[in-house]
């Protein structure tokens, strides 16, 4: 059996530590039989031959841009069977000006609500809130989440705009607070999968920092998600 090939694409906003975050998972990929290639930009997506030979793309690129040819290549590769997965802004806030990318992924970061204004100090921690990741009924039966239970995090809680082609494995709910303008609780997907042509996509919104990715639940979800998304044919 030939070795599977994983392509790790990282870059964009340094606040999400794309190098350190992706380095966490390279040993896991190699231990599970992947030959790993690492690229520091999405330029590789325009290389049709490279993507055709890729079984899994792990992307960590936040608030960046993607060219027409790069996006065309990525969409074609996933539709043909290349798997794709990622976490947090590295997949759900990668190329916010590219509507065809948003359609491919199925969910886009909109905001992460902040603490009470009097507690805000102008740092990233202003948006760290305690919240619960709640598994859906589908999630409890899915190989990515099997055996896990609802869990707590204290980090950015993503509010996600999404469509109904995604299969939601876990959610998180933004409560009503006096300093926020919404008037009823808002539930966002926190972990989802998506079938796109022959390809599988897996997204988890926790992962703002290396520390969050080291959480036992988050890391388990990401590692299982990589295996699940890998080309199946």
pLDDT one-digit tens code per residue, 116-166: 999 999 999 999 999 999 999 999 999 999 999 999 999 999 999 999 999
**CA 185 centroid distance within chain:** 23
Task: Tell me the three state secondary structure of residue 13.
Answer: coil
- 111 falls in which pLDDT band (50, 70, 90)? very high
Examine the pLDDT at 61 and tell me if it is beyond 70.
yes
- The answer to whether the beta carbons of residues 171 and 140 sit under 8 Å apart is no
Q: Nearest to residue 88, comparing CAs of 176, 224, 210, 220?
A: 210
**Mean pLDDT rounded to a whole number for the chain:** 97
Contact 110, 83 (CB under 8 A): no
| pLDDT of 233 strictly over 90 | no
pLDDT grade for 2, boundaries at 50, 70 and 90: low
Report CA-CA distances (Å) from 187 to 65, 77, 137, 181.
Answer: 28, 31, 15, 15
């Amino acid at each position: 059996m030939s070795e599977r090939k994983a392509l790790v694409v990282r870059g964009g906003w340094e606040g999400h530590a794309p190098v350190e975050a992706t380095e966490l998972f390279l040993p896991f990929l190699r231990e599970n039989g992947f030959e790993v290639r690492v690229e520091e930009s999405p330029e590789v997506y325009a290389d049709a031959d490279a993507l055709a030979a890729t079984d899994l793309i792990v992307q960590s690129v936040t608030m960046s841009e993607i060219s027409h040819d790069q996006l065309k290549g990525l969409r074609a590769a996933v539709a043909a069977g290349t798997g794709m997965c990622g976490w947090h802004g590295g997949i759900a806030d990668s190329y916010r000006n590219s509507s065809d990318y948003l359609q491919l992924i199925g969910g886009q970061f909109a905001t992460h609500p902040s603490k009470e204004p009097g507690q805000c100090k102008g740092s990233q921690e202003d948006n760290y809130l305690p919240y619960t990741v709640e598994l859906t009924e589908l999630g409890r039966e899915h190989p990515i989440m099997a055996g896990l239970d609802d869990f707590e995090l204290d980090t950015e809680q993503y509010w996600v705009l999404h469509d109904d082609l995604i299969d939601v494995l876990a959610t998180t709910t933004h409560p009503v607070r006096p300093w926020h303008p919404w008037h009823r609780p808002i539930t966002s997907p926190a972990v989802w999968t998506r079938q796109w042509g022959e390809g599988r996509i897996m997204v988890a919104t926790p992962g703002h920092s290396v520390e969050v990715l080291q959480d036992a639940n988050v890391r388990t979800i990401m590692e299982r998600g990589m295996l699940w998304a890998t080309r199946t044919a």
